Structure 1
Amino acid sequence: MVSCETISSDGSGGRRQPRPAAAIFDLDGTLVDALPDIRANINRALAALGYDRRLDMEETRPLVGGGARNLAASILGKGIDAPETEALYQRFCAIYAHHPAELSRPFDGVIETLTALKERGVRLACVTAKPAVARVAVLDALALSPLFDAALSPEEGFPTKPAPDMLLASCRIMGVAPERAIMVGDTRYDLEAGLAAGCHTTIHISHGYQPLPDDLRGRVMAIDHFRQLLPLFSG
C-alpha cells in the first residue's frame, strides 16, 4: 500500500520542488526490528534491580518510541524524574551496551534501499529516542553506521521526538534544508516530529510497532516496504 503520495508537510497537496535531497529515519521499528532486544534488556534490568515484573513482547511494543526514560517510567508507574525511574534507565542503558543486537535485525529491504539512496547521493540520517551508547552499538553491530551522514539521540543535548530538534540538527549536519528532507518513522512521535520540522514528506512505515494514527491520515504518506521510498528520489 502507498497512500497520500502527494501529501507534503506544508499541506500544499503536492510534493515540494525540487525533489528531496536527504532522508531522516527513526531507528527502532523503522530501520531495525529491535523489539526482542528491548524486551530482553529491560527484563535483564528489572531482574538486576530486584523487580519481579517481566514484560512479554506485546506489553513492550506500545512502550517503544518515547525514549528509554519514558519506557522505565511507564513500566514502574513512576514519574520521569523519580529515582527509581533513573535507576532502571541507567541499568537498562548499561545492559543494552553489552547486548545491543543479539536478536535485532534490519527490516526487509532496509540495507538495499539505504545503499541505493547513498549511491544516488542522498544524504542519510538516523534520529532516535534510543540512548546514544545503544544507538551506536546497534548501528555498528548491524553494519549500518557507514551509511549515515548523521545520527543523533536525546542524550546529545536534544529533547525527544515529537520535538523537531534532532531532525533540524541532522539537517544542519547534512547541509540540507528541512524542506528537502523526508522523515520516515513508525510512531506518532516520529510523524509529529517530521511535520513540526517542515520536512518535504513525512512517511509512516507499516512494518513498525504502532499503526498510523487516524488523526494523521491525510497529512502523511503511508508505505508498506522500504523500496517504496526510491521513487521519491527519482526524476
Structure 2
Amino acid sequence: MSDAPPPIRVLVCDDQALVRTGYVTIFSAQPDMEVVGEAENGHAAVQATRQLRPDVVVMDIRMPLLDGIEATRRLAGPDAVAPPKVLVVTTFNVDAYVYDALRAGASGFLLKDSPPAELVGAVRTVARGEALLAPAVTRHLIGHFAERLRPADTSRRAGEDVVSLLTVRELEALRLIAEGLSNAEIAAAMFIAPETVKTYVSRILTKLGLRDRVQAVVLAYRTGLVSDTP
C-alpha cells in the first residue's frame, strides 16, 4: 500500500490550443500531477472546475466569452464555496489586469515565458496553500497600479488598523513580503531564521484576516505601507 499523496489535479485554461497542449504535456510528465481537463475560455473553465474539482486552475487572462479575471472571481472570490487555487499565467507587457486577477482571488501569477520547471514549481506551491508572486516583477507590477489600489476614503483608516494590529517586526515582514521577497530573503534581511519568518507570515495573515501572501501584498499597497517607487 502506497503512502504517496494523491496527485495534484490540474485544469488548464487558455484560449490558444497550442499553449494548452504545451501545459498538458508538461504537467502530465510530472509524477505528482494529473491533468483533469482543459478549457478554452473563462466560461468553460468555471463549468469544468465545478464538475471536475481540480486542485489548481492554471488560468490565462485574455480570453473570449469570459476573461480570466471574472472567471477567477467566480471560482475563488469571497463568495466561492470550496474554491480551487488559481494560478494566473500571463504576458506581463500585455496584461494590464494582473492585479485585478489577484484581487479576484488568484493565489499567484507567473509569466508565460517562465521555464517549464518554474511553471511546475508554481503549481506545487499554490497547491500547498502558499501564494506565489514572481519576485522579479512584484514591485513593478503592483507599484505600477499603486494609485488605483488606494481609495482615498479608506486607505488611511485601513493603514492605521494594520499598524495597530501588527507588531513592529510583523510590519517589517509585511513590507518585505510586499516587495516580493521569499521567506529566505526575508530571513536574511531581518537576521532571523526562516522558521521565524513562517511564524510571522502566519501571524500576519491571521491578525489581518487574509487568505494568503497575495492578499497581504495587495493590502500593503492599498494602505500605503509600502512605497510605489523603485
Give TM-score scaled by structure 2 length: 0.31
Larger relative contact order (Cα-Cα within 8 Å, sequence gap ≥ 6): 1
Greater helix share, structure number: 2
